[in-house]
Amino acid sequence: MRIKKTLGGKYMRSYKNDFPIFQKNKKFVYLDSAATSQKPKIVLDAIQEYYATYNANVRRGLYPIAEKATKKVEKVREQVARFINAKDPSEIIFVRNATEAINLAAYSFASHNIAKGDSVVTTIMEHHSNFVPWQQLAIQKNADFVVLDISEDGFLDLDLKIKKAKILTLTHVSNVLGTINQIKDIIKQAKAINPQIKVLVDAAQSIPHMKVDVQNLDCDFLAFSGHKMMAATGIGVLYGKRELLKQMRPFLYGGEMIKEVSIAKTTFTDIPYKFEAGTPDIAGIVSFGAAIEYLKSTGIETIQKHENRLIAYSLSRMKEIEGLTIYGPKDIEKRSGVVSFNLNGIHAHDVAQVLGDMDICIRSGHHCAMPLHKRLGITASARVSFYIYNNEEDVDKLIESIKKVKKIFKYG
């Protein structure tokens, strides 16, 4: 294990060594974990082990490797349930990603509970995955689509518009501003105003970086993706309170979600399986188990502290750069490891492209949050995002490279 001295003078582990991608090219700087995270070796090994030693379909075969695969999937379901403190593993539905989780909730819950005149409330800071499904549902149902605004420094303006709402759906952490919404207080406040309201939390950008406890938050649904928290792509989760899930109709129909099928009718099996039609992403689920092990052994608080230090350092170094505008909260405690910015006079795509040529990976564009960009009065931004494998050296390289970008574009 390599130990490195950090800015604060403390010695800490170099987590990069756990991730094979950083071994190939030591110059490589990855600052796009909000899009997808890199994968530690134990995750890659778990996938390899599954395919090499117990590859079989689940909940069908009666032979040993099929039973082993089935047991593994259920073990990971329990791991996920413990990770978010769900009451029961049956509250964990495996889906492809956060997008599918939100669509499942929108179609299965809301489509049967929302009628003309009801309202669906979301916020201006949502990723399109937590905006478009609700907007489309509202259009179909002739319901009101209410969008809560943000304050100047990127916080939500919760108001009485939720009085008539059937559902409030909002992000825990903004993938553009980095704002950490005070989700527990918001849910409490929303339920005090409207006890019938259900709340869905988009945890795609929070769960990889901070403790999320669904019972403590008292959310009704929680959606997230495995690939942003070190698991493979193709696996995500919808958590739902048991009683709610039981009332909901399936979203997808097909194999392994039925009790009985006849020409006249079909009856469905219990939760969570009635929402998991077809063969699941078994390797993805296996990878999810390994990712959770990695996150737990690293410690979610350690991850959060490490990222806070990096944000503080990067925000202070970004101030050196004239003409650089940073979006989101000024208070470091209120933001996560996502920093979006623009360089005066240079398009975000140009910034990202030139940095890419220097082996520094960042994101540019509207980050699937067009309404928010419009609200900020911009069409695009550049975004850097951190995870446990980043360090101050990465930030230094970023800053020096941004300065070079300015020179290349003859600005500053």
The answer to the question of residue 171 lying near ligand PMP (CB under 6 A) is yes
Residues 90-109 that bind ligand PMP (CB under 6 A): 97-99
Name the strand (E) or helix (H) holding 239: strand 236-240
CB-count burial class (<10 Å; 0-12, 13-18, 19+) for 260: exposed
Residue whose structure tokens are 């964990």: 92
Q: Is 9 helix (H, G, I), strand (E, B) or coil?
A: coil
- Which of residues 38, 175, 342, 385 is near ligand PMP by CB under 6 A? 175
Please identify, among the stretches 62-70, 201-209, 248-256, 394-402, the one whose residues bind ligand PMP according to the rule CB under 6 A: 201-209
Residues 366-405 that bind ligand PMP (CB under 6 A): 368
The answer to the question of residue 127 lying near ligand PMP (CB under 6 A) is yes
CA distances from 93 to 80, 90, 106, 238, 327 (A): 10, 7, 14, 5, 34
Output 77 or 127, the one with its CB closest to ligand PMP: 127
The answer to the question of residue 336 lying near ligand PMP (CB under 6 A) is no
The answer to the question of residue 33 lying near ligand PMP (CB under 6 A) is no
Output 175 or 342, the one with its CB closest to ligand PMP: 175
Closest Cα partner for 252 from 288, 279, 277, 233? 277
Output 202 or 281, the one with its CB closest to ligand PMP: 202
Residue 17 to residue 31: CA distance in whole angstroms: 16
At closest approach, how far in Å is the CB of 385 from ligand PMP?
A: 9
Q: Phi first, then psi: give them for residue 199, nearest 5 degrees.
A: -125, 125
Please give the order of strands across the beta sheet that includes 236-240.
92-95, 236-240, 221-225, 198-202, 165-171, 119-123, 144-148
Residue 102 to residue 95: CA distance in whole angstroms: 10
The answer to the question of residue 129 lying near ligand PMP (CB under 6 A) is yes
345: region left, alpha or beta (phi > 0 left; psi from -120 to 50 alpha): left
Output 340 or 401, the one with its CB closest to ligand PMP: 340
Please identify, among the stretches 72-80, 186-194, 200-208, 307-315, the one whose residues bind ligand PMP according to the rule CB under 6 A: 200-208
Please identify, among the stretches 110-118, 199-207, 280-288, 358-366, the one whose residues bind ligand PMP according to the rule CB under 6 A: 199-207
Catalytic residue among 12, 368, 378, 399: 368
Residue 280 to residue 296: CA distance in whole angstroms: 24
- Which of residues 114, 204, 214, 283 is near ligand PMP by CB under 6 A? 204
Residues 247-266 that bind ligand PMP (CB under 6 A): none
Beta-carbon contacts of 59 under 8 Å, excluding residues fewer than 6 positions away, are: 70, 73, 256, 273
Show the binding pattern over residues 205-224: x = contacts ligand PMP (CB under 6 A), - = does not: x-------------------
What is the Cβ-side half-sphere exposure of residue 383, based on CA atoms within 13 angstroms? Answer: 26
Q: Could you tell me how many helices (H) and strands (E) the chain has, helices first?
A: 14, 17
Q: What is the DSSP string of 13-44?
A: E-GGGG-THHHH-TT-EE-BTTT-----HHHH
The answer to the question of residue 122 lying near ligand PMP (CB under 6 A) is no
Output 16 or 335, the one with its CB closest to ligand PMP: 335
Show the binding pattern over residues 49-88: x = contacts ligand PMP (CB under 6 A), - = does not: ----------------------------------------
At closest approach, how far in Å is the CB of 28 from ligand PMP?
A: 21
**What tokens were used for 206?**
């929070």
Name the strand (E) or helix (H) holding 360: strand 360-361
Output 43 or 354, the one with its CB closest to ligand PMP: 43
The answer to the question of residue 169 lying near ligand PMP (CB under 6 A) is no
Number of residues that bind ligand PMP (CB under 6 A): 14
Is 361 known to be catalytic? no
Output 130 or 364, the one with its CB closest to ligand PMP: 130
The answer to the question of residue 181 lying near ligand PMP (CB under 6 A) is no
Please identify, among the stretches 22-30, 55-63, 125-133, 290-298, the one whose residues bind ligand PMP according to the rule CB under 6 A: 125-133
Beta-carbon contacts of 370 under 8 Å, excluding residues fewer than 6 positions away, are: 128
The answer to the question of residue 307 lying near ligand PMP (CB under 6 A) is no
Residue whose structure tokens are 């929402």: 275
The letter for the amino acid at 321 is: I
Catalytic residues: 368
Point out which residues bind ligand PMP (CB under 6 A): 34, 97-99, 127, 129-130, 171, 175, 202, 204-205, 225, 368
